[in-house]
Amino acid sequence: MTHSHRTTTEFCKTFGLVCGLLAAHMALAQDDPFKLQVEVRQSGDTFNTQASFKLPLTPCQAWNYIVDYDAAVQIPGVVSSKTTRMGPAKTRVERSLRETFLFFPIRMHTVIEFTETAGKGTDFVQIEGEAKSHRGSWRLEPSTDGTVFRYQATSEPDSSIPMPVIRYFLDKRLRSSFAAMAQVGAQRSGTSCPS
**pLDDT per position as a tens digit, 94-131:** 999 887 766 667 788 999 999 999 999 999 999 998 88
Looking at the fold, whether 47 and 131 belong to one and the same domain comes out as yes
Chain segment 62-78, per-residue pLDDT in tens: 999 999 999 999 998 89
The answer to whether the CB of 112 falls within 8 A of the CB of 133 is no
pTM: predicted TM-score of the whole model, two decimal places? 0.79
Do residues 21 and 97 both lie within one domain? no
Closest CA to 39 of 175, 133, 155: 175
Domain match, 19 and 105 both: no
pLDDT in tens, 122-163: 999 999 988 899 999 999 999 989 999 999 999 998 777 777
7: left (phi over 0), alpha (psi -120 to 50) or beta: alpha
Mark whether 54 and 24 lie in a shared domain: no
List 110's β-bridge partners, or say none: 95
Q: Are residues 59 and 18 in the same domain?
A: no
**Which segment, 27-36, 37-46, 56-65, is predicted with the most confidence on average?**
56-65
Distances from the Cα of 61 to the Cαs of 1, 53, 119, 187, 190, in angstroms? 65, 15, 10, 11, 9
Q: How many domains does the chain have?
A: 2
Work out the mean pLDDT of the chain and round it to a whole number. 82
pLDDT of 172 above 60: yes
SS3 48: strand
Q: Are both 13 and 86 inside the same structural domain?
A: no
Instruction: Please say if the pLDDT value at position 181 is more than 80.
Output: yes
φ, ψ (nearest 5 deg) of residue 11: -60, -45
Q: What is the C-alpha end-to-end distance of the chain, expressed in Å?
A: 74
